[in-house]
Homo-oligomer: A and B are copies of this chain.
């Protein structure tokens, strides 16, 4: 397969992106190819610095760069030769089987949706992020592709995330929770209440009902369905809370004897490693007609390397076929929404 990577996406581009791509190559199959998309001269000079000979790594020129804070739609219009726009076109034309970017999430979603389109029956794609928990991985969808969700979108996120959780994460019957503000049926806003009926009516889903914010950390479900605004807040809040707590512990430790602080370091590192989202590489854009992974803006080489493996698994497991089949049998269709 041919995997295209945005060489200019993220806070550590292009060096860490290129490094991650090169790290992945030896572990890919012989007929796999990695394509670095970015300003040709720059990317090639970096490859030369690293004394890397072309072959299974190629470069496709994309002279323009979308900044992390560019307005998504506008940036695509103004920068048609950006790495994100070029990757989207490659996927559309069958020149890439998977696209990966750690760049501007909004621009990625807009470009991929515009060029690659959605799978038959899918109204809006959703970004699914995996939270690594001690009790097992929890998939949260959507975390920012769709900030004005309709019940049909949320219902489809439940179905698509279930398939992802089954076939990528190996969970036989993923428990699906609907993010709300109380477990009782009466709790939530109108969209949540109507979504609950849709999720409940599909007996292919292992729907456990409403969940609350705290339940993500309590082994209550394997899939969390929420609208993109809420999911994005969840994602960034969790990151901030964990960082903040580790920082607070560090501050307290600094006031202790150096020897005690040193003894505690490996314990904290173990906790950190068990909850390290970088292991999963990137978040799939579920529902897109292709394989598209979006990585954290702070991604370093290890995350990019893992995202490449994840895109290969997503592609070879034929997740999109499973989604299309599943949605074609759903009794609630986009046209009913």
Residue numbers of A with Cβ under 8 A of B are 69, 71-72, 74, 106, 133-134, 144, 147-148, 179-184, 186-190, 192, 212-218, 228-230, 232-245, 248-249, 251-253, 256, 260, 263-264, 267-268, 270-271, 274-275
Question: Would A214 and B243 count as touching, CB distance under 8 A?
Answer: yes
User: Which of A189, A218, A237, A252 has the most chain B CB within a 10 Å cutoff?
Assistant: A237
Question: Would A214 and B188 count as touching, CB distance under 8 A?
Answer: no
Question: Would B240 and A216 count as touching, CB distance under 8 A?
Answer: yes
Question: Would B252 and A69 count as touching, CB distance under 8 A?
Answer: no
Q: Beyond the given A214-B237, A218-B244, A248-B275, please list 6 additional residue pairs across the A-B interface where CB-CB is below 8 A.
A: A106-B187, A147-B181, A181-B236, A214-B239, A230-B233, A252-B271
Considering the complex of A and B, which 5 residue pairs feature the smallest CB-CB distances, nearest first?
A: A214-B240, A213-B237, A213-B236, A217-B244, A181-B232
User: Which of A134, A213, A239 has the most chain B CB within a 10 Å cutoff?
Assistant: A213
Q: How far is the CB of A192 from chain B (nearest CB, A)?
A: 8
Point out the residue from B190, B237, B251, B264 that lies within 8 Å of A216, measured CB to CB.
B237
Point out the residue from B69, B186, B192, B242 that lies within 8 Å of A241, measured CB to CB.
B242
A181 to B236, CA, bound (A): 9
Question: Would A240 and B267 count as touching, CB distance under 8 A?
Answer: no
Instruction: List the B side residues contacting A217 at CB < 8 Å.
Output: 240-241, 243-244
Question: Would B248 and A245 count as touching, CB distance under 8 A?
Answer: no
Question: Would B243 and A271 count as touching, CB distance under 8 A?
Answer: no
Point out the residue from B147, B179, B240, B274 that lies within 8 Å of A213, measured CB to CB.
B240
Q: How far is the CB of A67 from chain B (nearest CB, A)?
A: 10
Question: Would B184 and A71 count as touching, CB distance under 8 A?
Answer: yes
Instruction: List the B side residues contacting A230 at CB < 8 Å.
Output: 229-230, 233
Instruction: List the B side residues contacting A72 at CB < 8 Å.
Output: 186
User: How many copies, total?
Assistant: 2
Instruction: List the B side residues contacting A252 at CB < 8 Å.
Output: 267, 270-271
Given A71-B186, A233-B179: A242 touches B245 (CB 8 Å cut-off): yes
Q: List the B residue with the shortest CB-CB distance to A185.
A: B71
Given A71-B186, A134-B248, A242-B241: A228 touches B181 (CB 8 Å cut-off): yes
Q: How far is the CB of A129 from chain B (nearest CB, A)?
A: 13
Given A214-B237, A218-B240, A264-B264: A188 touches B271 (CB 8 Å cut-off): no
Instruction: List the B side residues contacting A148 at CB < 8 Å.
Output: 189-190
User: Which of A184, A240, A275 has the most chain B CB within a 10 Å cutoff?
Assistant: A240
Given A248-B275, A271-B249: A234 touches B237 (CB 8 Å cut-off): yes
Q: How far is the CB of A132 from chain B (nearest CB, A)?
A: 11
Q: How far is the CB of A149 from chain B (nearest CB, A)?
A: 10
Point out the residue from B144, B212, B232, B245 that lies within 8 Å of A236, measured CB to CB.
B212
A238 to B243, CA, bound (A): 12
Question: Would A241 and B243 count as touching, CB distance under 8 A?
Answer: no
Given A181-B233, A245-B245: A251 touches B213 (CB 8 Å cut-off): no
A242 to B213, CA, bound (A): 12
Q: How far is the CB of A334 from chain B (nearest CB, A)?
A: 21
